[in-house]
Amino acid sequence: MDRTVLLLSVLSVLRPAVVALDNGLALKPTMGWLHWERFMCNTDCVNDPDNCISERLYMQMADVMVKEGWKEAGYEYVCIDDCWPSHQRDAQGRLQADPDRFPGGIKKLADYVHSKGLKLGIYADVGVNTCAKYPGSLGHYETDAQTFADWDVDLLKFDGCFLDWTSLGEGYINMSKALNKTGKSILYSCEWPLYEWAYQKPNYTAIRETCNHWRNSEDVFDSWNSIRSILDWTAKHQDIIVPSAGPGGWNDPDMLVIGNFGLSHDQQESQMALWAIMAAPLFMSNDLRGICPRSKALLQNKHVIEINQDPLGKQGYRTAAMNSFEVWERIMSNNSLAVAVLNLQDIGGPRKFPIVIIPSWKICDPRCTVTQILPQYKEFGVQNVQSDIVFSVNPTGTALLKITAINSRFKPSHKLFWKNESIRRDQTNTL
Ligand code: GLA
């Protein structure tokens, strides 16, 4: 064994195991649909019955998910966000759905969604109110957890508005315990770190022990600026957040906005590719009833989904940034690596990127296979370190690749990537 390999093995043994929330859920990043980015707090069912937050919306989405191949592609959770409840709790102090918009109630909706072989998610808040000023769960954690369990809900998105930041940890932990106490498996999606970052560095060990996924950065909008700023935030904090991801607990960069209005097709491919590299939960927020075929094919692309769902469960990260290109890499099972090459230059035409510049290209010594997954599927077959493949990447687009080592002794690792960052920058100056 050479010294580098020995050192890396020692480091991997020394690295403390990160303990996940022990509810047996989210062993792979969660996949589903969530209403917020596309439908927001539209409660006007009189004038806008097709787009308002009502039981009809989720039932229609569940129908389409089964009929149009979404369920088969892996999208399983149909999730309600803010603005579903009545402004008043019931006589027993329980949350209740708005009676006009949810005449059947949540239990009946859950039964419907389950009858389609799908799961239902609901939304609540750790503080006095939800972000849209509906009743929050503070002081009612056990009652609300039990209500959700009685309704047979499968996932809770727990927001962090209207609570003093010093109480966030206690609130999220107590709700986690309350959910556990119900005895029903309820996937727990948190926003704890997002609300804490404004004041201090969150404790990711505690967060991972408490939640199945957690939002770190600002809400996604339907724009390229928004996607870029989430990616920038993630790269800037990757040394803190990446090690905390793994089976049972994931960093959540927020919803996929593919199929809406604000992203070009290249940008939609960039979001899909990078969310796969980041091992992100894949919650689409779009209108599946009328989505364009190209966006649908992208969201259902089985090769990209396979990268997102890789069983090793290691989150990828940015490994190089040069000349308005970024390279993001994710270590996967079976000696494979997923690589996204993002062209951030939003002027001009497609730009060339020689494959040998990828920081861990060494895994192709002595040989590897290379497959391009986005923008088009293409098998390049067996390659070696001298490969002359050059990609052409559109402005704000991404080339997504899968590289599988053949008999390589090079084992990529987080530490190796980060230590060598400055060296890689020098090597890539020639682009
Ligand atoms: C916050 C969350 C969003 C959404 C809204 C609802 O902003 O971060 O994802 O849930 O609240 O009001």
Give pLDDT tens digits for 87-128.
999 999 999 999 999 999 999 999 999 999 999 999 999 999
Query: Distance, CA 381 to ligand 1 centroid (Å)?
Result: 45
Structure tokens at 105: 């109630």
Structure confidence at residue 19 (pLDDT): 86
For atom 5 of ligand 1, the residue with the nearest CA is: 131
Structure confidence at residue 1 (pLDDT): 37
Structure confidence at residue 409 (pLDDT): 79
> Active site residue: 50, 63, 111, 219, which one?
219
Structure confidence at residue 422 (pLDDT): 39
* Architecture of the domain whose range is 18-308: Alpha-Beta Barrel (3.20)
Structure tokens at 395: 């402005």
Structure confidence at residue 413 (pLDDT): 63
Structure confidence at residue 135 (pLDDT): 98
For atom 8 of ligand 1, the residue with the nearest CA is: 219
Query: Distance, CA 159 to ligand 1 centroid (Å)?
Result: 7
- Among 219, 220, 283, the mutation site with the greatest number of ligand 1 atoms within 8 A of its Cβ is 219
Structure confidence at residue 363 (pLDDT): 94
Do residues 288 and 38 touch, judged by C-beta distance below 8 A?
A: no
Checking phi first, is residue 114 left (phi over 0); if not, alpha (psi -120 to 50) or beta? Answer: alpha
Q: What is the separation, in whole angstroms, between the first and last Cα of the chain?
A: 34
- Please tell me whether residue 77 adopts helix, strand or coil conformation: strand
Burial of 391 (0-12, 13-18, 19+ CB in 10 A): middle
- Which atom, in ligand 1's list, is nearest to the CA of 157? 10
317-322 and 378-383 beta bridge pairing: unpaired
Which portions of the chain are predicted below pLDDT 50? 1-16, 416, 418-431
> In three state form, how does the secondary structure of 168-222 look?
HHHHHHHHHHHHHHCCCCCEEEECHHHHHCCCCCCCHHHHHHHCCEEECCCCCCC
- Which atom, in ligand 1's list, is nearest to the CA of 132? 12
Pick the closest to residue 280 from 261, 304, 264 (CA basis): 304
Query: Distance, CA 240 to ligand 1 centroid (Å)?
Result: 24
Structure confidence at residue 13 (pLDDT): 39
Query: Distance, CA 268 to ligand 1 centroid (Å)?
Result: 22
Which residue intervals of the chain bear CATH 3.20.20.70?
A: 18-308
Distance CA 44, CA 212 (A): 33
213-215 and 187-190 beta bridge pairing: parallel
Concerning whether 159 is annotated as a catalytic residue, the answer is yes
> Active site residue: 159, 252, 254, 310, which one?
159
Query: Distance, CA 219 to ligand 1 centroid (Å)?
Result: 7
Which residue intervals of the chain bear CATH 2.60.40.1180?
A: 7-12+316-428
Residues whose beta carbon lies within 6 Å of some atom of ligand 1: 36, 81-82, 130-132, 159, 191, 219
Q: Tell me if the pTM is above 0.85.
A: yes
Distance CA 237, CA 260 (A): 28
Burial of 333 (0-12, 13-18, 19+ CB in 10 A): exposed
Task: Identify the CATH homologous superfamily for domain 7-12+316-428.
Answer: Golgi alpha-mannosidase II (2.60.40.1180)
